Amino acid sequence: MRTLVTGGSGRLGRSVVAELAARGHEVTSVDVAPGAAPGVTPRTADLLDEAAREAVFTEARPEAVIHLAGVAVPFGRPDTEILSVNTRLAWAVLSAAVAHGARSAVAASSPTVFGYGPETWAPRYLPLDEEHPVAPWHSYGLSKAIIEETVRTLARAGSGGCTLAAVRPGYVLAPEEWAGATTQQGHTVAERLADPGLAAGSLFNYIDARDAAELFALIAEHPERVANGQVLHAIAEDALAERPLAELLPRYHPGTEGAAAGLTGTQAAFTSGAAERALGWRPTRDWRTELGRADAP
């Protein structure tokens, strides 16, 4: 299958293009930063440039589009820039996928749409699923909520046989980070485990980039199993913590005390049950099996 990946040189993108290539897809990876991977056709382009975007889509003729490009972390750039880049890119890429006849187009969202962070945050229930209301509190989370609404808007408008979806990957851990490379916040995984305060801001969530990549690939291969406009979680089923979240969450997020009491053992604050029901996907890697593995890249 001809598959176009935007942001294919990024932390998640590298694993996505590798997974697609391994599954036999004809992969085109487009990014503003040059990158190359075995079996992948690289393209360097700014997809906010209409002519460049049209050229990429015309050449790649994608049957599936996986949109990962954009500002990747909260507070990484000025708020107005985060909003502008992320939301305009999503509309441009997803609408181009529809216009060029792709069978599926899936965009990366984020669990930050739930608005955790402020001390006053109080979820209605835990673990958080895709049905829990969203209430972003910073521009990055807002941009991701708008991306999800973009997916639903294009689905409502009539997507011409293209199934649109959004995936909320957890805190992405690239394969080399299990072996000690720093994560996107500048800490190692071991440091995040040793100091719960480092992972508390993300509710101790995470996902191995290879597990997330498999979910993106499954959506590309089986769009008929996903409802048009659907949002799916891609988050590990256990928490990035050595203590139960029933104990840790109220310490850092006082408003979670009631809801967190129901979390047992190593249970995470999120569930990815919708992806399992739709596509049979479950994450297979966790910090207990992967941390410090000698064969990590």
Q: What is the pLDDT of residues 84-102, one digit of tens each?
A: 999 999 999 999 999 999 9
Which domain, by its residues, includes 227? 2-171+207-235+271-280
- Is 31 contained in some domain? yes
CATH number of the domain residue 45 falls in: 3.40.50.720
Full-model pTM? 0.96
Band (293; pLDDT cuts 50, 70, 90): low
Band (294; pLDDT cuts 50, 70, 90): very low
Mean pLDDT score, 284-290: 95
What is the reported pLDDT for 97? Answer: 98
d(CA 222, CA 86): 26
Structural domain total, the chain: 1
* Tokens matching residue 137: 């509190």
Over pLDDT 90: what percentage of the chain? 92
- Is 257 contained in some domain? no
- Is 201 contained in some domain? no
pLDDT, tens digit (0-9, with 9 covering 90-100), for 197-213: 999 999 999 999 999 99
d(CA 173, CA 75): 19
- Is 253 contained in some domain? no
- Is 215 contained in some domain? yes
- Is 49 contained in some domain? yes
What stretches of the chain adopt beta strand conformation (E)?
2-6, 26-31, 40-44, 64-67, 104-108, 163-169, 172-173, 207-208, 230-234
- Is 142 contained in some domain? yes
- Is 79 contained in some domain? yes
pLDDT, tens digit (0-9, with 9 covering 90-100), for 68-80: 999 998 998 999 9
Q: Does 296 have pLDDT greater than 90? A: no
Dihedrals phi, psi of 132, to nearest 5 degrees: -65, 135
